[in-house]
Structure 1
Amino acid sequence: MTKQIILDVDTGIDDALAITYAAHSPELNLLGITTTFGNTYVDVAARNTLNLLHLLGKDDVPVYKGMSQMLNGDDHHQPATWIHGENGVGNVDMPESPKQPEAIPAHEFIISTVREYPNEVTIITMANHSNLARAIKQDPEIASLIDEVILMGGAVTTEGNITAHAEANIYNDSEAAQFTMQSGVSMTLIGLDVTRKTLLDKATIDTWVENGSPLAEALAGMCQFYMEAYEKEEPILKGCPLHDPLTIGVAVEPSLVETKQMNVNVVTDGEANGQTVGTEDENGNVKVALEVDAEKFVAHFANRILG
């Protein structure tokens, strides 16, 4: 059965990989993509997404911009240019899409789509939670009408990547993340606990260079930038983690990860802002991925990424 999905992104190199992976997965029907801030500004994320969809021949997929402020109205944090480049996609220039973002804001698209497909929509969020939180805040009933939220975020059993305590997506709007996790929505957390184990190596990128298609060249250029950044930031990994793409892999094949039901809360201020604190609880609010079949996932990703 085809899964109806919305992608929520801050495109972003690994977001670009995940969007491409999703577009090449027949198990998934991409209803639309919502953008937010984080890896880059929300407007730039929308343009990157439209340009990538154009490169993929998927101009029919609509893109919706979110707000440029956090849920509490504060301005967002600065883009992660050191790891995603000045334009969010490793300074790679993609062909310009002729399309523009849709007129309605991201959170209203989420509400209307969940209402149109009750209990059928999986929301895969690879960014902060401001779009999802605004949607649930405006229409609380949709929390029970969303089939599942699969989110890349958090670090329940490991250290963070933007601070010692926090993973970047959660940190970028910790109040929104805490709100959605307590909203009653069915949620699976794909955090640094597992994504750090899913590494893209240079040999795979080299095969994309050899492929020579416009898509392969664009993705290779992005990942070469990404890998060089990781060599400086986290050299112990010996590759670049497939953070966001793992959410797509789990949407296609949930058995790629082993999860435990936990009660998860997000610290929303102080030195530990953005930390995801989880305790095992069979009635907990979140399924937390703690183990991953990294070899199987990376092979699946590599086999699909170029279509």
Structure 2
Amino acid sequence: MQNVRMILDVDTGIDDSMAILLALKTKHIKVEGITTVFGNTDVAQATRNTLQVIEVSGVPYEVPVAMGADRPLVREWRGPVTHIHGNNGIGNCELPMPKGKPLAESAAEFIVRMVNTHPNELTLVFVGRMTNLAIALAQDPSIASKVKRLVIMGGAVKVPGNVTPVAEANISGDAEAAHRVFESGIPITLVGLDVTMQTIIGETERLQLMASPVPGNEKAAAFIGEAFKFYFEAYEKQNGFYGSPLHDPLAVAVAAFPDLVATEEHYVRIETKGTMSYGATLVDFRRTVPVTNASVALGVDSPRFLDYFINTLKS
């Protein structure tokens, strides 16, 4: 199994926390750094949450954290998603104050430095707005040819959006940044709502994740159980079912096991001008453009993914 050297970009809410834990606990992933961005909560809170989750994970190596953008490139930030992720972004769970601190350099500076230092070796996994990467590309466009692969949790291709009828939250949260990234030439795998909405877990899995934690995983197991309880209750109020999709963890999983999803090569553009369609992910299924810029995930092996997710987080 090929090792994956990863930079993970997060707006650490509840599912971001689970994505961080999944990446840190997957044996063939080495998390080279985590960058933070506004989104589910403000970037300062996202950074604090990230440091806390890293420490709860028990990861045996140091993971640098770089704080990034606090607003979109062009538009105003719509504010934190407290009704889904709680006032602190992690379901109002109270974790110990982190001992670690973020790096002095920004997320964009960290990305540029790391990609230039390790050309064609790093997989970037972005599970929030793509603002940090857009800024990094503006600072050094050459990094586009040096990224091994970019896995994006974002977009709604053949399914409805989750913030508007056509737009998904991460893309529409900064569509201008997403547009720049898709036009950059970076090799992209798009993991959107078409597949993440097929990865639903509920109370049975939550209890399974909490039960009989292995020595050293007690704090993580308790946090997972408490955070998912808040998340499930929020989803029940919002969507009418007690459970949740595993949006961000699936992107990490695809970076680790690309064959978890069935993909098609297409040309993808992001709508940045429309009033009703802002943030829409437009896929050229008719192939009117003679090039492609993304592998678009349209199918997922949900049972295999869920088995991997549960077993890894219990380890």
Coarse TM-score class (shorter-chain normalised) = over 0.9
Partner residue, 1:243: 247
Partner residue, 2:12: 11
- Cα distance in 1, alignment partners of residues 176 and 11 from structure 2: 18
Per-residue deviation, 1:210: 3.2
Q: Secondary structure at the match of 1:88?
A: coil
> Match for 1:290 among 257, 273, 298?
298
Read off the aligned partner of 2:302 and give its amino acid letter.
A
Read off the aligned partner of 2:72 and give its amino acid letter.
M
Q: TM-score scaled to structure 2, two decimals?
A: 0.94
- Cα distance in 2, alignment partners of residues 68 and 235 from structure 1: 32
Partner residue, 1:84: 85
- Cα distance in 1, alignment partners of residues 238 and 302 from structure 2: 22
Read off the aligned partner of 1:167 and give its amino acid letter.
E
| Structure 2: stretches of 5+ with no match in the other structure | none
RMSD value over aligned CA atoms? 1.3
Matched, 1:146 2:147: yes
Per-residue deviation, 1:193: 0.4
Per-residue deviation, 1:214: 1.4
The answer to whether the Cα contact below 8 Å between 2:231 and 2:243 also exists between their aligned partners in 1 is no
Partner residue, 1:263: 267
The answer to whether the Cα contact below 8 Å between 1:261 and 1:283 also exists between their aligned partners in 2 is no
The answer to whether the Cα contact below 8 Å between 1:35 and 1:66 also exists between their aligned partners in 2 is yes
- Cα distance in 2, alignment partners of residues 166 and 80 from structure 1: 16
- Cα distance in 2, alignment partners of residues 259 and 234 from structure 1: 28
Matched, 1:233 2:241: no
Matched, 1:182 2:183: yes
Per-residue deviation, 1:209: 3.4
Partner residue, 1:57: 58
* Percent of aligned positions that are identical: 41
Partner residue, 1:67: 69
Q: Secondary structure at the match of 2:267?
A: strand
| Structure 1: stretches of 5+ with no match in the other structure | none
- Cα distance in 1, alignment partners of residues 255 and 243 from structure 2: 24
The answer to whether the Cα contact below 8 Å between 2:209 and 2:310 also exists between their aligned partners in 1 is no
Per-residue deviation, 1:8: 0.2
Q: Secondary structure at the match of 1:211?
A: coil
- Cα distance in 1, alignment partners of residues 226 and 291 from structure 2: 44
- Cα distance in 1, alignment partners of residues 151 and 184 from structure 2: 14
Q: TM-score scaled to structure 1, two decimals?
A: 0.96
Q: Secondary structure at the match of 2:211?
A: helix
- Cα distance in 2, alignment partners of residues 210 and 300 from structure 1: 16
The answer to whether the Cα contact below 8 Å between 1:108 and 1:135 also exists between their aligned partners in 2 is yes
